[in-house]
Chains A and B, each alone.
Chain A
Amino acid sequence: MSNNYLEIKNLEGGYQASQVLFDLTFEIPKTGVTAIVGRNGAGKSTLLQTIMGFNKSTSGSVTFDGNDLTNKSTYARTRLGIGYVPQDRPVFSDLSVRENLLIGASRLPKKERTNLTPVLDIFPKLANRLDQKAGTMSGGERKMVGIARALIGKPNLLIMDEPTEGVWHGVVDEIQQRLMEYAKSNSILIVEQNLDFTIGMATQILLLERGVISQRVSASDKGEIATLRKRLTL
């Protein structure tokens, strides 16, 4: 039995004629946080969207917990136990916070679908805002709802695209703590520009440059982290 949830082999993809991802191979272990960092346009979001099946890969394979995802649709991938927090439009604006959270519970047994307690324990601030329309919340709060909605489905692997973008730093710290707690027994794949946030929680970091993984760093390796910082700030 593999120790990895996600196994990506020789993955290539992009948008129509334009290839963005080149021969990517990496694994995501069953616990901990894997971060993908890189400059704008490196292909980070494209990679996540390809893993989620929103963009079709042109070659290679994506396997989740032994299931080949390559030809599976987005909703089928979600049902296997992958949660996804998109970078933009993280909430359904016209729906209340409660309704947004309930939508995330589709893969749970019927009896568990209305139990919001587990995510309200993680994000207690949302408990007082359950009846508020999600579209009227601040950017940071919307991100929080987006993450909570993905978590309510109890995904084995949580994929997040820029969860701290536009979020007030106080909320960023809170999000980081909650996610680190979650990653003790689950797996998180995160794309993030905020390097301090990423380094603070990641167990492995992959640097993506022009659609290619150019550096693999263990979070405990201070020297490698310093090199990575330099490469990203050059």
Chain B
Amino acid sequence: MDIKDLEKAAVEGKLDRREFIKRATALGLAAPFATSLLTQSVHAGMTPKKGGKFTFGSSHGSTTDSLDPGTHENGFATNLVFAYANHLFEVDNTGKLIPELAESFEASKDAKTWVIKLRKGVEFHNGKPMTADDVIAAMNHHRGEDTKSAVKSLLSAVTEIKKTGSHEVTFTLNAGNADFPFILSDYHLAILPAFEGKMDWQAGFGTGGYIIDRFEPGVRATFKRNPNYFKSGRAHFDEVEMVSLGDTTARQSAVMNQEVDAIYRVDPKTVHLLGRNPNLSILEVTGTLHYTFPMRVDQAPFDNYDLRMAVKLSVDREALVNKILLGHGAIGNDHPISTSQPFHNGEMTQRKYDPDKARHHLKKSGFSGTLDLSTSDAAFAGAVDASLLIKDSAAKAGLDINVVREPKDGYWSNVWNKKAWCACYWGGRPTVDWMFAAAYMNDGKWNDTAWKTGPAADRFNKIVLEARSELDTNKRRAMYYEAQVLVNDDGGALIPMFANHIHAVSKKIGHDGQVAGNWEMDGSKAIERWWFA
């Protein structure tokens, strides 16, 4: 039996998920790959068709949501903005960067100057043509003193944005960055029409495949297809309704009763029950989402390398993946780069639960006493249980942990990035550099491990900076591999697991066969990528 037969058997329902993965792994496929193969083959082989009304239940959405791209922070907003607006670049469903509103780009040798040519003949929903002025206004929305944009720091390296033609913009950076186009694909940096030199987000006009019909924050958004959409082979549905279904049970019963066609964030505890529904298929994608327990190396006792190592060795990662994610995830190796990313270091040895070695490091550190671990389910669902599991496995290594339950409210302002050791999550970033810049480099604003000085941290900062302006892929790979080793060994982050994105999708829905893992819902672009078969 080869993999094709297996796929066929799975599609016809002769094999269940567990059995499929077991056999596929026996054939030599890695488990995460087998999972995505299964879910993808169920939908593959369908050709795109226009029409229909796609209703989709978002786990997010709050009455305080607005159309201001600078404040977008949840899954409702990302799906919304990718439906009605476009960006200069797009991460496609294989994780590759492709130009979207940009037509082509050219970088100087030092990767400091980026000349971006814009696509011509693209119109906003109000009929206004998209030009360099709109792009500049859109970028400036996130820059400057008084901006309240969440991505201000992302554009802090940009020193100048100049119009060098009606459809050409030149960005100047203060340091080279080979990944700059990736940054321009960030969902916050949507290109919206400019009005009197400022970005006019209030009107809700974009260039996207769907025109916003109605937006009721925290309740729903409805869209109609943009007949003038510049992309071919995208935006297949006639109408789209996105409803906010925050309650997990409400969301799952809605998809079971076919009141919505797709949902994401299926509860791992009940995913097998949803999978039994004949109308639904479970779509699982390994992404970049990972759960972390950052130890602040600037605070005692975590300033001690051996104590950090003792903690990292006294965590039973397999048990965490099996009990907290119920198998819907992968174990982490104390660095934030996912197996789905191009520069993931697969040559490094996976750190395992080793109470004896942990005991050895604990003794060497000279630490005796109790470690406080601050935790709350605000960090991720199951964070409290995960902390208790860590406490249990660490006790076997002679390490005494006191789990402190913190209130959910205000967790991000009062606990995270303040307490010496706490639970946290990172949604992941499309590039290695971006992930490191956000949370691991010494100038990162969210460096929650405060790992900034010392020989290893210095070396790490140096090579990541070098890699940023390195345009030779092989050299970059070597640098990023070393950087991952440094974070894994000396860094303050305990990263025990990567979580899968779990969706439940009606069998009537078709997609490309390849589903993006950078965000949930096919990179938050399901609205324009999927169709009714």
Instruction: Note whether A and B form a binding pair.
Output: no
Interface residues of A (CB under 8 A from B): none
